[in-house]
A and B are shown apart, each in its own frame.
Chain A
Amino acid sequence: MKSLSRWLYTAIIFFIIWIALVGTIRWDELVTGAAVSIILAIFTAHIFTTEGLSNLSPKKVICGIIYFFPYLIWQMIKANLDVAYRVIHPKRPINPGIVKVKTKMHSDLAKTIVANSITLTPGTFTLDVRGDEMYIHWIDVKSQDVEEASEMIPGVFEKCLMKFMD
């Protein structure tokens, strides 16, 4: 049952990618795409996903697209401007260091999303994740305390993710 759900999920994702790449909706292309994605899914489902179809629940997809994605882009733009300012400033005002933070997320998928979001916002990137601890290189260390840093770096994304993941 579990493996069926994983296989179906992989096939659906591959089929969506196929449609976006082909760009036109015609019968022969849809049939070819379906056949190719089903065959590929048989071979790759076990490395592609662990959760299977539960990733596609409408709540997760809709909240992810409408709520989290624009928020992530907004954070990226803000942080990009901040890093750009540090690059052009003649004195190069950086204050780097590696800090340790704790994440509140439990599932592997949610941890991956938080770690990747942290890496995507300039100024911070995830060096390692061990259990619920993350080691983050921060270009401007504002606090070395674990609790305070956890509020400042992953807390921003967790607030948003908590509502529909985990």
Chain B
Amino acid sequence: MIQKTIGEVFLIIGGIFMFLASLGLLRMPDVYNRMQTSTKAVTLGAMSSILGVGIIHPAWLPKCILIMLFILFTNPVSAHAIGRAAYRTGVKLWKGSVCDKYGSCMEDEDE
């Protein structure tokens, strides 16, 4: 009973973070800021939901932990790849951005 409640609390927390991530996807102005909210909030949201499932069904717990680890390892790689590809293909930063140190570094490389 207690176990089921704890699992459900984790599922709800995961759901809330997923919702906030999709809200951020709509509200943020450019690719990079959308990546900030979506990819990362989904990490915690997905991990929390999977942990919740693992707690409700303890027999699945090892597999759930394995899935969490795979998300933890692969998510940053894909986020980095998407962000870098967006920058390299010329997606501009939002006009309210404060600074862009990467642009000058790329110009040095082109020369």
Within residues 82 to 111 of chain B, which ones have a CB less than 8 A from any CB in chain A?
83-84, 87, 93-94, 96-103, 105
In contact, B41 and A83 (Cβ under 8 angstroms): yes
Q: Give chain B residues whose Cβ lies under 8 Å from the Cβ of A125.
A: 32, 35-36, 39-40, 76, 79-80, 83
Please measure, in the bound complex, the distance between the C-alpha atom of A121 and the C-alpha atom of B36, giving whole angstroms.
Answer: 9
Name the contact of B75 in the complex, choosing from A87, A95, A120, A124 (C-beta under 8 A): A120
Please measure, in the bound complex, the distance between the C-alpha atom of A87 and the C-alpha atom of B66, giving whole angstroms.
Answer: 30
In contact, A128 and B84 (Cβ under 8 angstroms): yes
For A78-89 the 0/1 string (1 means CB < 8 A from B) is 011001100110
A66 in the interface, Cβ–Cβ < 8 Å?
Answer: no
For B31-68 the 0/1 string (1 means CB < 8 A from A) is 01101110111011000000000000001101101100
In contact, A135 and B20 (Cβ under 8 angstroms): no
A-B contact count (CB 8 A): 130
Q: Give chain A residues whose Cβ lies under 8 Å from the Cβ of B44.
A: 76-77, 80
Chain A interface secondary structure, helix, strand, loop or mixed? mixed
In contact, A144 and B99 (Cβ under 8 angstroms): yes
Known: A87-B24, A127-B84. A98 touches B102 (CB 8 A): yes
For A138-152 the 0/1 string (1 means CB < 8 A from B) is 010100100000000
Minimum distance in angstroms from A97 CB to a CB of chain B: 4
**Interface residue ranges, A against B (CB under 8 Å):** 17, 19-21, 23, 76-77, 79-80, 83-84, 87-88, 92, 94-100, 115-117, 119-128, 130, 133, 135, 137, 139, 141, 144
